[in-house]
Amino acid sequence: MAGRAIAQAARPVVTVAPGAVGPGKAWPVGHYAELARTLAAEGADVWIVGGPREKAPAAEIVRATDGRARDLTGGDLREAILALSCGDTVVSNDSGLMHIAAALGRPVVAVFGPTSPWHWAPLNPLAAVIEPPPTAVCPTCGRNGCTDVRHRRTIDVAPIRVLDAVRRVLSERER
**pLDDT single digits (tens) 20-31:** 987 789 999 999
Would residue 175 count as lying in a domain? no
Domain count, the chain: 1
Would residue 171 count as lying in a domain? no
**pLDDT single digits (tens) 59-113:** 999 999 999 999 999 878 899 999 999 999 999 999 999 999 999 999 999 999 9
Would residue 115 count as lying in a domain? yes
* CATH number of the CATH domain containing 154: 3.40.50.2000
Residue 129 pLDDT greater than 80, yes or no: yes
Average pLDDT in the chain? 89
Among 170, 13, 17, which Cα is nearest to 79's?
17
Would residue 138 count as lying in a domain? yes
Would residue 51 count as lying in a domain? yes
Would residue 126 count as lying in a domain? yes
Instruction: Estimate to the nearest angstrom the gap between the alpha carbon of 114 and the chain centroid.
Output: 16
Mention every residue, 6+ apart, whose C-beta is less than 8 A from residue 106.
15, 84, 85, 87, 89, 90
pTM: 0.89
- pLDDT at position 2: 39
Residue 43: domain span: 2-166
Would residue 18 count as lying in a domain? yes
Greatest mean pLDDT among 11-25, 26-40, 109-123 lies in 26-40
